[in-house]
């Protein structure tokens, strides 16, 4: 699953993606809606690998993109797993121990590291490599009936695209071992309870919920979104507080950030009455239609 790096570095924007056969991409207000459409069951095979490489590169290079959402055209399969035939074709020749992450993990880590937000909206099955792609996203939301898992040990191998690492960071060592060694599916409800996904939702609420969240994030100042993500990424490291302090300082000097803070005060922030509906004030400071109470709505015209 070594990625062709040329497609990562092509410099194409999301709207300029060409030759992508396993994904459908729609752009809406800074959000790239990526629908995995690779019958018969959305296998992670060579064709999908190339398209994923191109997608990650395009989102990374596209200054107009703030959020990428992964969904599936197949209600039964988000991504089934990696193509076992492809895995069987990988080299088994002796080699020295790795001194850096394998290409597939470097590819997926770009999703974590870039200043854009990746969200997986999971309906159906996400096992093996499908689970690992979801784990590489910044957030995961699933239907209550979704099924996730890492069944590789039952085939005599282990998760090879970051599953042992990212899953352990989310659910803890003992839970990760239960999932990886037990090879059983985890329902959406259970996945939400243990932190495998952010939350589980009824089938008809998944996409509307993710749409609202993605649109909200895309409307925020880019410097604040990027800085917050970088600081959260640094949290497990001893230098996390330094990163947070630097990114806070960067955002503080951004003109859009200052406009929003000034509007927050003008529209009733830091008043007992106004902050009873903080969401309305936040929407107003961002220039979005107000869900306001009369008190702060009147103040916005003064």
Smallest CA-to-CA distance from 30 within 59, 70, 67, 60 is with: 67
Q: Residues with catalytic annotation? A: 132, 152
Q: How far apart are CA 137 and CA 123, in angstroms?
A: 15
Q: How far apart are CA 53 and CA 106, in angstroms?
A: 11
Q: How far apart are CA 116 and CA 113, in angstroms?
A: 8
| Measured distance between the N- and C-terminal CA atoms of the chain, rounded to whole angstroms | 60
Q: Is 31 helix (H, G, I), strand (E, B) or coil?
A: strand
Residue 43, judged by CB atoms within 10 A of its CB (0-12, 13-18, 19+), counts as buried
Q: How far apart are CA 115 and CA 66, in angstroms?
A: 8
| 298 Cβ neighbours under 8 A, 6+ residues apart | none
b/e per residue 112-135 (b: at least 16 CB within 10 A)? eebebbbbbbbbbbbbbbbbbbbb
Contact 140, 134 (CB under 8 A): yes
Contact 260, 287 (CB under 8 A): no
């Amino acid at each position: 699953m070594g990625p062709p790096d040329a497609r990562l570095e092509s410099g194409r924007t999301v709207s300029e993606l060409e030759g992508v056969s396993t994904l459908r991409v729609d752009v809406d207000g800074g959000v790239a809606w990526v629908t995995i459409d690779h019958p018969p069951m959305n296998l992670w095979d060579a064709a999908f690998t190339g398209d994923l490489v191109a997608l990650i590169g395009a989102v990374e290079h596209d200054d107009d993109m703030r959020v990428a959402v992964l969904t599936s055209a197949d209600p039964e399969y988000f991504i089934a797993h990696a193509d076992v035939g492809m895995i069987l074709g990988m080299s088994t020749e002796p080699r020295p121990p790795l001194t850096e992450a394998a290409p597939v993990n470097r590819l997926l880590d770009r999703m974590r590291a870039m200043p854009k937000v990746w969200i997986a909206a999971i309906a159906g099955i996400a096992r093996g490599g499908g689970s690992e792609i979801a784990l590489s996203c910044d957030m995961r939301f699933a239907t209550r009936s979704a099924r996730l898992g890492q069944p590789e040990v039952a085939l005599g191998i282990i998760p090879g695209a970051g599953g042992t690492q990212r899953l352990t960071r989310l659910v803890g060592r003992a839970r990760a071992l239960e999932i990886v060694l037990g090879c059983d599916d985890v329902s959406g409800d259970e996945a939400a309870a243990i932190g495998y996904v952010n939350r589980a939702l009824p089938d008809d609420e998944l996409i509307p919920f993710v749409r609202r969240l993605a649109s909200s994030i895309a409307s925020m100042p880019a410097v604040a979104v990027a800085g917050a993500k970088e600081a959260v990424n640094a949290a497990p490291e001893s230098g996390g507080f330094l990163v947070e302090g630097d990114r806070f300082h960067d955002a503080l000097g951004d003109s859009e950030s200052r406009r929003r803070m000034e509007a927050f005060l003008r529209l009733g922030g830091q008043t007992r009455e106004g902050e009873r509906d903080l969401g309305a004030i936040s929407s107003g400071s961002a220039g979005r239609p107000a869900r306001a109470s009369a008190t702060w709505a009147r103040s916005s015209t003064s």
